[in-house]
Structures are given as C-alpha cells and as structure tokens.
Amino acid sequence: MVEMANLMSRCQNDLSNERRRAQMAAARQVLERSTVLLLTASKACLRHPDCDTARENRDTVFLQMRRSMDVIHYVVKEGVIPELAGTTSNGEPRRNHGGLRRSRAYHYNHTGSHRADEMEQCLTVCNAIKKFEDHVEMTRMTMLSPAYRGLLTSALESVIERSQDFTDSAYTSHEHRERIILLCDRLKMELHQLLRVGLQLEQIGQISPNEEMESAIHETLRAARDLKLQLQTTALEQAEELLKYMDKSTLLNRLKHASITGDHPRLEEISERFSEQSDHLQEVCK
C-alpha cells in the first residue's frame, strides 16, 4: 500500500491536466481513508459473521476502493484501456490468458466505456450556463439561422434542467427557490426576445446584427449571469449550513466504535444519520 501511494504521488505530480490531477488526488484520499475502514469493517464482520449490517459495511467499503482504483486506472491510462483495443501497450495482439482475462475484458467492454463517458460528460449547471453564454455570444457572427435557433433552445433547456437540481432540493430555502424560478423565466423571456429579433432580421435579409439585436444579446447574457450568481449563492449557503451541522470526524469515530463493539441499534442509528449527511453533501455538490 505504501509503494502504491508513492507511485500515485509521483504520477499525480507528472500530470499536466488540472482536472486529471484533481481526480487522482480525490481517489488517493478515498483509498487512504478506506484502507483503515476496510480493516475495521472486516474485523467486525469476522467477529459477527451472522450480522448482515457488518457484512454490508465491509462490502460497501471494498466497493468504494474498487471505484477509486477504477478512477486511478482511468487517469493513468488517459482514458485508454488496452483491453478494449485487444492489443498490448506496444501494439502487439493480446494473447488469450484464460477465462479470467476474458471475463475482465467483458467487464471493461460493458462498463469501462460507459464510465469514461460519464466522467467526461458530467456537466454542472455552471458548465451549462457557460455553454449557453458562448452560444449567445456567437450569434453576433452566425446570426440566428433555424439550426442555430434550435441550438440555443437546446442549450437553454439544459440550463433549466440542471437548475431543477436546486429547485427540487429539500435543502433549498423557499426564498432561493422562488428567486431561481423567476430568473429561469426571465432567461426564457430574454432568449425568446432574441430569437424574435433574429427572425425579423432573417426575413429582411440582414446579415449583421443591428442595435436591437445587440440589446437583446446583452439582456440575455445579463439574465444568464444573474441566474448563475443566484445559483452560486444558493450553493454556498447550503454548503455553509452543511459544514455548520456536520462533524464528520466525530460521526465516523462513533460509526467505527459501534461497528467494533457490535452495538447493532447504535450502528443503525449512526448509519442512518451518516446516510442523511451523505445525501445532503451530494445535493450540495451538484
């Protein structure tokens, strides 16, 4: 484990892509913490072989470590998995080494590419707004052809869809929820105005934006910025509330102690609380 940690550290320092470096750092942190948890969970499972909760805890920690290893493998290979290509790293055909290798290749063929796509296409609402703003800026050069109008509409739908993570969240205050909904409606209205102006210019055959179109572009961008600012404010408020009430070290120590001592009622109570905090954390991370 120490040797692997040293190898990962060197590999992380060699990475030039900040995103890949962050993925490697996160995976390393999960592995380091999960190693101790796996030992504790395994001991609890051995002491209480008939306890389903202890066995589930052990399997969950092991699965988390497997996922972290998958992320590290993905980063090191830069998204390329040799098993998928059926060749070795030097380009030679890969030999068949039995049923185990075939099962691994089958696993990667059915899950590896999906996991890679999921990593690359994980858009946040800020990414969606940034892409929408870029499309709006481009209308000064492309004007608003039918195809580009469809592209803008699709980009807006992506923004609205990801904004629903905030409006549907139980942790978003009523005031923020109402504000987000109003800003989404305003963004729809401003884009509708921009599309209307673009359609008028297309009908008269004008190939450059006029003052009315520039004004519509400006208002659309301002509405998008206001929405992004409101979403950021909401996320920061949720993060502040989460950190205020979450003491992860104490909770994990209690969970560890209950697992070792075999206190089933206490373990279920703490596990439920930990699950609630995990759900809250996932909501904030969106």
- 53-64 pLDDT tens trace: 888 888 888 888
pLDDT digits (tens, 9 = 90+) for 179-197: 999 999 999 999 999 999 9
Question: CA 172 to CA 235: how far, in whole Å?
Answer: 9
**Residue from 67, 61, 60 nearest 26 by CA:** 67
pLDDT digits (tens, 9 = 90+) for 32-42: 778 778 888 88
Say which DSSP state 95 is in. Answer: P
pLDDT digits (tens, 9 = 90+) for 171-180: 888 999 999 9
Given this model, what pLDDT does residue 6 score?
A: 59
- Compute the Cα dihedral for 146, 152, 155, 157 and give only its sign: negative
- CATH number (3.30.450.40, 3.10.20.30, 3.90.180.10, 1.20.120.330) of 121-230 reads 1.20.120.330
**Residue from 75, 77, 158 nearest 119 by CA:** 75
**Residue from 137, 187, 138 nearest 162 by CA:** 187
Given this model, what pLDDT does residue 284 score?
A: 67
Please give the average per-residue pLDDT across 148-164, as a whole number. Answer: 90
Least confident of 79-83, 163-167, 223-227, 267-271: 79-83
Tokens of 68: 């972290």
Higher-pLDDT residue of 96, 242? 242
At 125, the amino acid letter reads V
With 90 as the cut, is the pLDDT of residue 226 above it?
yes
Cβ(236)–Cβ(145) under 8 Å? no
- CATH number (1.10.8.590, 1.20.120.230, 3.30.300.30, 1.20.1050.10) of 1-79 reads 1.20.120.230
- Compute the Cα dihedral for 21, 22, 25, 30 and give only its sign: negative
Say which DSSP state 93 is in. Answer: B
Given this model, what pLDDT does residue 50 score?
A: 83
